[in-house]
Amino acid sequence: MSLPGSAFSPEGASTSLALSPVSRLAATYRALEHAFDKPFGSALNPLKHLGALGFMLLWLLVVSGTVLYIVLDTSAAGAYRSIEALTEVPWMLGTALRGVHRYAADAFVVVMAAHIVREWVLGHYRHFRKVPWITGVPLVALAFVCAVGGFWLNWDRLGQYSVVSTAEWLDALPFLASPLARNFLGGLSLGDRLFTLFVFIHIGVPLLLIFGLWFHIQRISLARVFPPRALAWGTFVTLLLLSFVAPVVSQGPADLSSVPQALAIDWILLFIHPMIDATSPLVVWALLGLAFVLLSVPPFLPAPAPAPVAVVYPDHCSGCARCFDDCPYSAITMVPHPNGRRGMRLAEVNADLCAGCGICAGACPSSTPFRSAETLVTGIDMPQWPVNDLRAQLVERLLAMPGPRRLVVFGCEQGTRTHLDATDVLHFPLVCAGMLPPSFVEYALRAGADGVLINGCREGGCEFRLGQRWTAQRLSGEREPHLRSSVPAERWRTAWTDPGDEQALAAAVDELRRQCDACAPPELEEKNR
Q: Tell me the per-residue pLDDT of 39-94, one tens digit each, with 9 for 90 and over.
A: 998 889 999 999 999 999 999 999 999 999 999 988 888 889 999 999 888 888 99
CA 241 → CA 97, 339, 457, distances in Å? Answer: 12, 63, 34
pLDDT-based confidence at residue 20 (cuts at 50, 70, 90): very low
Q: Give residue 430's pLDDT.
A: 93
Q: Give residue 187's pLDDT.
A: 56
pLDDT at 416 over 90: no
Q: Give residue 49's pLDDT.
A: 94
Mean pLDDT to the nearest integer, 296-320: 92
Mean pLDDT to the nearest integer, 470-493: 94
The alpha carbon torsion through 348, 349, 351, 354 (nearest 10 deg) reads 160
pLDDT digits (tens, 9 = 90+) for 165-186: 998 888 888 766 555 555 555 5
pLDDT digits (tens, 9 = 90+) for 417-427: 666 778 899 99
Cis-peptide into 10, omega within 30 deg: no
Which residues in the chain are classed under CATH 1.20.810.10? 48-256+263-299
pLDDT at 520 over 70: no
**Residue 293 host element (H or E):** helix 281-296
**Residue 160 host element (H or E):** helix 157-171
- Name the residue among 170, 137, 148 with its Cα closest to residue 292: 137
Of residues 7 and 470, more confidently modeled? 470
d(CA 220, CA 235): 25
pLDDT digits (tens, 9 = 90+) for 330-369: 999 999 988 777 778 999 999 999 999 999 999 999 999 9
Among the ranges given (255-259, 263-267, 285-289), the one the predictor scored with the smallest mean pLDDT: 255-259
- Looking at the DSSP bridge assignments, the partners of residue 493 are 453
Mean pLDDT to the nearest integer, 305-309: 91
**Residue 204 host element (H or E):** helix 192-216
- Name the residue among 15, 45, 14, 19 with its Cα closest to residue 30: 45
Mean pLDDT to the nearest integer, 323-335: 95
DSSP-assigned states of every residue in 105-156: HHHHHHHHHHHHHHHHHTTTTSGGGHHHHHHHHHHHHHHHHHHHHHHHHH-B
CA 514 → CA 18, 109, 490, 510, 520, distances in Å? Answer: 28, 49, 10, 6, 10
Q: Do 252 and 156 contact (CB within 8 A), yes or no?
A: yes
Determine how β-strand 380-381 pairs with β-strand 311-312: antiparallel
Strand order in the sheet with 451-456: 425-430, 407-412, 451-456, 492-496
pLDDT digits (tens, 9 = 90+) for 124-153: 999 999 999 999 999 999 999 999 999 999
For helices 24-40 and 93-121, angle between their N-to-C axes, nearest 10 degrees: 140
What's the mean per-residue pLDDT of the chain? 87
Q: Give residue 266's pLDDT.
A: 93
pLDDT digits (tens, 9 = 90+) for 47-62: 999 999 999 999 999 9
- Looking at the DSSP bridge assignments, the partners of residue 275 are none
- Name the residue among 163, 145, 144 with its Cα closest to residue 76: 163
Burial 113-144 (b: 16+ CB within 10 A, else e): eebbebbbbbebbbbbbbbbbbbbbbbbbbbb
DSSP-assigned states of every residue in 18-64: HHS---HHHHHHHHHHHHHHHHH-GGG-GGG-HHHHHHHHHHHHHHH
Of residues 191 and 330, more confidently modeled? 330
- Percentage of the chain beyond pLDDT 90 is 63
Residues 6+ apart with CB under 8 A from 166: 148, 273
Mean pLDDT to the nearest integer, 465-469: 93
CA 471 → CA 170, 380, 463, 502, 521, distances in Å? Answer: 53, 17, 13, 20, 30
pLDDT digits (tens, 9 = 90+) for 209-262: 999 999 899 888 888 889 999 999 999 999 999 999 999 999 989 888 888 888
pLDDT-based confidence at residue 524 (cuts at 50, 70, 90): very low
Q: Give residue 189's pLDDT.
A: 64
**Residue 412 host element (H or E):** strand 407-412
Q: Give residue 11's pLDDT.
A: 43
- Name the residue among 262, 261, 256 with its Cα closest to residue 155: 256
Mean pLDDT to the nearest integer, 19-29: 65
Q: Give residue 50's pLDDT.
A: 95
Mean pLDDT to the nearest integer, 506-522: 84
State phi, psi for 110 to the nearest 5 degrees.
Answer: -65, -45
Q: Do 151 and 161 contact (CB within 8 A), yes or no?
A: no
pLDDT at 453 over 70: yes
Q: Give residue 527's pLDDT.
A: 41
Mean pLDDT to the nearest integer, 259-281: 92
d(CA 433, CA 458): 11
Assigned fold of 48-256+263-299: Cytochrome Bc1 Complex; Chain C (1.20.810)
